[in-house]
Structure 1
Amino acid sequence: MSTLSTPVADSAIMLRRNLKHTLRNPVTVFNAILFPIVIMLMFVKVFGGAFSVGDDYIDYATPGLLVMAVSYGLGATATAVNDDMTKGIINRFKVMDVSRGSVLTGHVVVTTVRCVVACAAIVAVAFAMGFSPEASALHWLGAIGLVVLLSFAAGWLTVALGLAAKSVESAGMATVPLIMLPFLSSAFVPADTMGAGVRQFAEYQPFTPIIETLRGLLAGNPSGGDALAALAWCVGFAVLGYVWAVSTFKKRA
């Protein structure tokens, strides 16, 4: 077996292991996939009529709900990574000569898959609620690509947070800011309707340009400035998370 195929095979094994853990944990499935749908129903059906956004509220809210679906699935990744580090499973993998990088890659890939499935569920429910995007096939490809890139980047950042945490509980808490950021963005109401201070934070925080890019793509009218900012944030998250995760893993494993 070549030196390349061994890490690839190990990564596939780690991916299968993490997928099984996800499917066997009802709380993880609920938090990652079902809870974003509950939030969607609450905002659209309960609060949506109170917001004036110029379009059907489901059209406005769906891009923000996609980003929220990504963020809500991150806690399970952080706790799973920390659990691996604190319960000695990494030492067992080392004895079995498992590629050390495959442990991290497995967590990142399963996080990406879980987030994409959650976003697909959000889109399906949105269509059932009257979502009517004007996106072309190319715009849909762009939106899907951005969701995958965001999920991948958030996966690496979350793995790094899980590795840096001292306990499983603190690992779960470390992802709370990422979960809260969509609520302090333009996900549910335009940023310019917010009060001073909050408005500026919403305009310049990472998730707002990502949400606005998705909103533009799904409306068939993407903004180049928002798209560049969104890509920059995603790449920045991925690089920061990767470097931080690898560095911490080398120190602890």
Structure 2
Amino acid sequence: MTSMSYAVSDSMTMLRRNLKHARRYPGLTLSVAGTPVVILLLFNYVFGGALATGIGGMSSGGGEYIDYIAPGMILLTATAGALVTAVSVCVDVTEGIVNRFRTMAISRASFLTGYVVGSVIQTMASIVLVIGVALLMGFRPTATPLEWVAAIGVLTLLTLALTWLAAGIGLVAKSPESASNIPLPLQFLPFVGSAIVPTESMPAGMRWFAEYQPFTPIIETLRGLLLGTPIGNSAIIALAWCVGLSLAGYAWARSTFNRDANR
């Protein structure tokens, strides 16, 4: 076998390990979906009436407002998955299992690769659950099968980007508690964007930040693909952010892991 074949084989072993953990502890996957579902229920049924009235007279409680906020809540699932990934990686690091892996004849890249792929699979499963709940609440996307594939592709790329960043966070965090706190800004950023209300309704300074932060173009791209609203150049900007964050997270996580291995 070549070194590449060994790396792939070892990565698959680590992937199976993480998926077995997910099957053994399904609460982790459900917790990723739980936060977006609770927020979706809260904003649609509690705050939806007031917010929908301010957005062009939309209706709430299963009407037009659920269509507006659902793409943002689906995206929020990816940020929730990043928090769980950061904590899980940190637990493995602080409990010493990573040091045991380093003494074994396995590919150095396999731990992170298996972790990231497994976390992406778990997060995408949670995204499917959130979409199902949104449909039950009245979300009515008009996307064609091709548009659904494109939307899932954008969500997968975003999840991959956030998972690599979360892996880096888990490696540098001193404890699981700090690993759970560091990614929190990622969960708040969609709210300071177009997830809940249009950026046009915000004050000038806040509007500028909302329009140029990473999640707004991604939300607008998802909204356009699922509901047929104008996308403009949001798709290009969204892909650029996803690719850029993926490369940055990958480089950070790999360099941190290799640096710690050489100590």
Q: Does 1:153 align with 2:161?
A: yes
Q: Does 1:111 align with 2:119?
A: yes
- Structure 1 distance, partners of 2:81, 2:257, is 22
Residue type of the alignment partner of 1:129: M
Matching of residues 145-224 of structure 1 within 5 Å? 145-224=153-232
- Structure 1 distance, partners of 2:200, 2:232, is 20
| Aligned-pair CA distance for 1:3 | 2.3
Would the aligned equivalents of 2:90 and 2:175 in 1 still touch at CA under 8 Å? yes
Among 104, 108, 112, the residue aligned to 1:100: 108
For the residue of structure 1 that corresponds to 2:204, the secondary structure is coil
**Structure 2 match to 1:13:** 13
Residue type of the alignment partner of 1:160: G
Would the aligned equivalents of 1:136 and 1:220 in 2 still touch at CA under 8 Å? no
Residue type of the alignment partner of 1:34: G
Residue type of the alignment partner of 2:105: D
Q: Does 1:43 align with 2:43?
A: yes
Change (3 A) 1:252 1:25: same
**Could you list the runs of 5+ residues in structure 2 that have no partner in the other structure?**
59-63
| Aligned-pair CA distance for 1:126 | 1.4
Identity %: 50
Residue type of the alignment partner of 2:102: K
Q: TM-score, normalised by structure 2?
A: 0.90
Would the aligned equivalents of 1:139 and 1:220 in 2 still touch at CA under 8 Å? no
- Structure 2 distance, partners of 1:215, 1:20, is 34
Q: Does 1:70 align with 2:112?
A: no
| Aligned-pair CA distance for 1:20 | 2.5
Report the aligned-residue RMSD. Answer: 1.6
**Structure 2 match to 1:131:** 139
Q: Deviations over 1:186-225 (max 9, x none)?
A: 1011111123322222111110000000001112345241
For the residue of structure 2 that corresponds to 1:189, the secondary structure is coil
| Aligned-pair CA distance for 1:26 | 5.6
Change (3 A) 1:130 1:252: same
Residue type of the alignment partner of 2:65: Y
Would the aligned equivalents of 1:7 and 1:99 in 2 still touch at CA under 8 Å? yes
Residue type of the alignment partner of 2:214: P
Task: Return structure 1 stretches of 4+ with deviation > 6 angstroms.
Answer: none
Give the aligned length. 253
Among 80, 87, 104, the residue aligned to 2:88: 80
**Could you list the runs of 5+ residues in structure 1 that have no partner in the other structure?**
none
Would the aligned equivalents of 2:29 and 2:123 in 1 still touch at CA under 8 Å? no
For the residue of structure 2 that corresponds to 1:45, the secondary structure is helix
